[in-house]
Amino acid sequence: MDVLNATDYLERMLAAPRPGSAKILAFLDYRVGAICNEPKLLLIPLDDHLCHRGDGVFETVSYRERRVLLLDAHLERLRNSAGALQLVPPCPWEELRALILDVARAGGVEQGSLRILLGRGPGGFGISPTECPTASLYIIAMHSSDLPETTYTKGFSACRSSIPARSYLAHIKNTNYLPNVLMTEEARRRGYDIPLSFDDKGNLAESAIANVGLVDAQGALAVPEFTHSLPGTTVLKALELAKTHMPVSTRPVPEEEIYAAREFLFFSTSPGCVPITSYEGRPIHDGQPGPVARLLRQSLREVLLREGTPL
């Protein structure tokens, strides 16, 4: 095996395959102090505890029509997650917010997605945070396209995952996403679009990367209480918007209510509200997207754009 100096190694590294590079628009590594638009230089030190210990938190933020959606809500959740890990960013939160907008602007597109990663930082391969003198911060802007319209007219199919709902880490959006990965792969193997997790009492929790809710037989919107799930920025906004049209609640949702529901809904920032039209091979109600799904999809898009932070 060759042993190379820095110049030769950098040349070979830049020539190495980099799957997914076409999606990257721009990124910032706070240690470097500048934004870069060469995807092949999007790297992370292997001794960053974010990498080998999962000791970090993150947020994924969408922007549409050059407006960043729910930016401050995402930042507040990032701040809460970081606080739970006693993780202090390498810059003030106000500067971090400005850097997010800088990276989005540097991407040069009207529509995209931002990934903000706040890690314990590089410093060693042990487990103690004391190895890491300064937290790491990475902000990446990526291409992001809307779901095809057929997704909203057909709806998602869902299944019950064998992976249990998260427990004490549920409210920390941390980089330990292995259960979510296993859930997603299980659904793919079984031929379903999305998986759903349940707690030890048999109550619905969440999907792998999104919240869910249902419209019950009385026409009320019920979202599983956030005991074993992350309170999503989009579902919280959806609950706020839905209040003017129907009763809403966060409460335990047993599995049998899914089969009796008028509508079953999937909430995430980029797609907004997507109908789930079947569960474990059985149709939800008549198997067609319902009026609440259409109402909340439209309302969320209008409000999120109107309230979005302009680039």
| Average pLDDT score over residue span 123-146 | 96
User: Does residue 158 contact residue 221 with C-beta atoms inside 8 Å?
Assistant: no
Query: Token pair of 237, please?
Result: 């906004």
For the domain made up of 149-310, the CATH class stated in words is alpha beta
**How, if at all, do strands 156-160 and 309-310 pair?**
unpaired
Q: Indicate the SS3 state at residue 301.
A: helix
H or E stretch covering 68: strand 67-68
Q: Which pLDDT belongs to residue 166?
A: 82
| Ranges for all domains in the chain classified under CATH 3.30.470.10 | 22-143
Q: Which pLDDT belongs to residue 170?
A: 86
**How, if at all, do strands 56-64 and 194-198 pair?**
unpaired
| Average pLDDT score over residue span 215-238 | 94
The candidate with the shortest Cα–Cα distance to 230, out of 282, 271, 267, is 267
Measuring CA to CA, how many Å separate 100 from each of 28, 32, 206, 246, 260? 9, 15, 28, 36, 43
Burial class (CB in 10 A: 0-12, 13-18, 19+), 202: exposed
pLDDT higher than 80, residue 65: yes
Per residue in 4-50, pLDDT (tens digit) is 999 999 999 999 999 999 999 999 999 999 999 999 999 999 999 99
For the domain made up of 22-143, the CATH class stated in words is alpha beta
Please tell me the distance from the alpha carbon of residue 5 to that of residue 25, in angstroms, as a whole number. 29
Average pLDDT, the chain: 95
| Average pLDDT score over residue span 151-159 | 97
Least confident of 170-174, 189-193, 251-255, 294-298: 170-174
Residues 6+ apart with CB under 8 A from 49: 55, 56, 119, 120, 121, 122, 123, 129, 131, 132
